[in-house]
Amino acid sequence: MTTLDRRTMLATGALAFAGAATRSAPAAADTAAKPIFAIDTITIPIAGEQGVFPVRRIYCIGRNYAAHAIERGSDPTREPPFFFQKPTDAIQNVAIGSVADHPYPSLTKNYHHEVELVAALKSGGTNIPADKALDHVYGYALGLDMTRRDLQNGMAAEKKPWEIGKSFDHAAVIGPIHPASKTGHFDKGAISLAVNGTIRQNSDVSKMIWSVAEQIAKLSEAFELKAGDIIYSGTPENVGPVVKGDVLLAKLDGLPDLSIKIV
């Protein structure tokens, strides 16, 4: 590239920034543009595969088991589902057979476990019909939607966004993804969470108010879903606090156990 070319391109770019009136002539694309520093690509291991699953977005559904909706103070009738997101780099991968150290986060004094089935998408779209939705699922994992409950509740009480209660480092604990081609889809199956050997949460994914297929359909009305999106499908009742030293053991019929220790 000559000096003149670069000057011309820079000038064009500067003008394009300066005002809409100049935007009809697009700036010359600088195909050599490079990020000024590298950031990690977030991935989740896939059980039995060499490849890993790249994560695009993390969606979560709220209050998707009636008994949990009641304990959170809402009506468990079939209201439209609601969703929130966690940042992609909130993923904490946990290997099968390990007990991963999970740091107790800052600011909270009431840190809660929420055991959940997670669906991982290989494709997406908008306005996906529920009867086609499972075609977009690559596989499933067991996950923990870790929650700073005091911060979530405090913000909710003030009618402020409760992002700080849900979206923080390590808040999306997850085991390896298992291809649906091997596990099938999860319309039923016992799901549980024990803390230090005592069962706290104990339910069945058949008790979800909105099935995974329905969640995908509803989500796709609000967002264009794409390959790499994962969906935490909601937690059953009896969420509760953990403290440093606690060992959590999550189970879901059809997937390996998931375990972390709060440190």
Q: Which residue number, 136 or 149, has a Cβ lying nearer to Mn ion?
A: 149
Q: Which residue number, 145 or 237, has a Cβ lying nearer to Mn ion?
A: 145
Residue 44 three-state SS = strand
Is 114 an interacting residue with respect to Mn ion (CB under 5 A)?
yes
The count of chain residues that interact with Mn ion, using the rule CB under 5 A, is: 3
Is 237 an interacting residue with respect to Mn ion (CB under 5 A)?
no
Least separation in angstroms between CB 126 and Mn ion: 24
Q: Which residue number, 149 or 178, has a Cβ lying nearer to Mn ion?
A: 149
Q: Which residue number, 114 or 229, has a Cβ lying nearer to Mn ion?
A: 114
CA-based nearest residue to 203, from 185, 187, 212, 190: 190
Question: Which residues partner with 195 through β-bridges?
Answer: 198, 248
- Here's the x/- map for Mn ion, 137-176, by CB under 5 A: it reads as --------x-------------------------------
Greatest alpha-carbon span in the chain: 72
> Distance from CA of residue 16 to its chain's centroid?
37
Least separation in angstroms between CB 65 and Mn ion: 10
Q: Round to whole Å and give the CA distance between 220 and 226.
A: 9
For Mn ion, the nearest residue by Cβ is 145
Does residue 186 contact residue 117 with C-beta atoms inside 8 Å?
yes
Least separation in angstroms between CB 18 and Mn ion: 46
Least separation in angstroms between CB 38 and Mn ion: 32
Q: Round to whole Å and give the CA distance between 202 and 188.
A: 13
Q: Which residue number, 124 or 234, has a Cβ lying nearer to Mn ion?
A: 234
Does residue 164 contact residue 155 with C-beta atoms inside 8 Å?
yes
Is 235 an interacting residue with respect to Mn ion (CB under 5 A)?
yes
**59, 71, 108, 149, 238 from 76: Cα distances, Å:** 21, 10, 28, 20, 15
Stretch that binds Mn ion, among 16-24, 25-33, 100-108, 110-118 (CB under 5 A): 110-118
Contact positions toward Mn ion, by CB under 5 A? Answer: 114, 145, 235
